[in-house]
């Protein structure tokens, strides 16, 4: 009986060490976050224009593989009519991806702490 209880104690200890190691490994893997400074959005004024807001990206390798990607974007912006806005992200190589394109209708206002994700489960119109 004594040997059996020692065996189970060792097994529990090994599982605990494995679990703690897994927590340490997963907690050390972090996503990168990049931000822009506060920027004033200009209104339409009866002419089309593009307003570029640069976001400095540092700390990524020159060559990337399939493990890199865009998980989500958070916007906090004030605008009386979100249907006026077409928002894209552009990579240094010129590749673009739409974030939102004139969504919100006549009553849509602002994007306050709004998250956009390619893994969203529900489309919001």
Tens of pLDDT along the chain (125 residues)? 444 444 444 444 444 444 444 444 444 445 788 888 888 887 767 777 888 888 888 888 777 777 777 778 888 888 888 898 899 988 878 888 889 999 988 898 999 999 888 776 666 55
Using a cut of 0.95, tell me whether the model's pTM lies above it.
no
Neighbours of 79 (CB within 10 A): 15
What per-residue confidence (pLDDT) applies to 121?
Answer: 66
What per-residue confidence (pLDDT) applies to 27?
Answer: 41
Pick from 76, 1, 36, 91: nearest CA to 9: 1
3-state secondary structure of 97: strand
DSSP line for 37-90 = ---PPPP-TTS-----------S--SS--TT----EEEEEE--S-GGG-EEEEE
């Amino acid at each position: 009986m004594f040997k059996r209880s020692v065996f189970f104690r060792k097994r529990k200890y090994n599982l605990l060490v494995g679990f703690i190691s897994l927590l340490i490994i997963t907690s050390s893997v972090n996503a990168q976050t990049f931000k822009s400074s506060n920027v004033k959005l200009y209104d339409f004024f009866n002419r089309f224009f593009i307003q570029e807001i640069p976001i400095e990206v540092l700390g990524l390798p020159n060559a990337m593989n399939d493990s890199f990607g865009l998980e989500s974007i958070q916007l906090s912006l004030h605008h009386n009519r979100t249907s006026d806005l077409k928002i894209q992200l552009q990579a240094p190589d010129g590749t673009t991806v739409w974030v939102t394109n004139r969504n919100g209708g006549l009553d849509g206002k602002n994007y306050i702490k709004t998250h956009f994700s390619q893994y969203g489960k529900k489309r919001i119109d």
